[in-house]
């Protein structure tokens, strides 16, 4: 169903993909937009690994707009994180590490699940301010303004640039 990576030698492990998703603070959500145009939008997110499989990506957003309309129309999405992007002008290349996940997004409706999802985002981005983000979660639930989305990841790959591979090989030989 999903294409294998063309440059298989540059593919990173699922474990490294998960580590990147866990530490990243933003990613780009790819959706089926209006009139057949792709729609991509950066979002702050939380990654939750699973005991089996690839885990989930969660975020909160407005209850109305292009993003939520696209998810309602077609839940199949992609999500990209660039972990490293260092331009090497003389070599005319970059040192990069990236992850792309494919999955199915669904809008969380259950109040307890909304609370859990919003507080997971709060815990990642507002550490030390638990009372503030938990209160905001309760307020937005009570006011009917909270919208959270969760992506169940179906497939995930990560890739490093050739220059990163060379760098990693040199470091391995030095050990």
- For the chain, the structural domain boundaries read 9-108+147-167
pTM of the predicted protein model? 0.90
130, 123 Cβ separation under 8 angstroms: yes
What CATH class does 9-108+147-167 carry? Answer: mainly beta
- List per-residue pLDDT tens for the chain, 175 residues long: 888 888 888 999 999 999 999 999 999 999 999 999 999 999 999 999 998 889 999 999 999 999 999 999 999 999 999 999 999 999 899 999 999 999 999 999 999 999 999 999 999 999 999 999 999 999 999 999 999 999 999 999 999 998 888 888 888 888 7
């Amino acid at each position: 169903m999903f294409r294998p990576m063309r440059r298989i030698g540059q593919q990173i492990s699922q474990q490294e993909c998960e580590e990147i998703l866990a530490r990243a603070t933003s990613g780009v959500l790819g959706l089926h937009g209006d009139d057949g145009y792709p729609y991509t939008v950066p979002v702050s997110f939380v990654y939750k690994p699973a005991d089996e499989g690839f885990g989930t990506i969660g975020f909160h957003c407005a209850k109305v707009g292009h993003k939520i309309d696209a998810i309602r129309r077609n839940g199949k999405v992609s999500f990209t994180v660039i972990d490293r992007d260092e331009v090497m002008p003389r070599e005319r290349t970059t040192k990069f590490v990236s992850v792309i996940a494919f999955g199915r997004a669904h809008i969380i409706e259950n109040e307890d699940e909304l609370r859990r999802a919003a507080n997971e985002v709060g815990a990642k981005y507002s550490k030390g301010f638990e009372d503030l983000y938990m209160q905001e979660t309760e307020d937005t639930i009570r006011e009917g303004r909270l919208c959270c989305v969760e992506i169940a990841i179906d497939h995930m790959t990560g890739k490093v640039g050739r220059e990163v591979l060379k760098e990693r090989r040199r470091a391995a030989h030095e050990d």
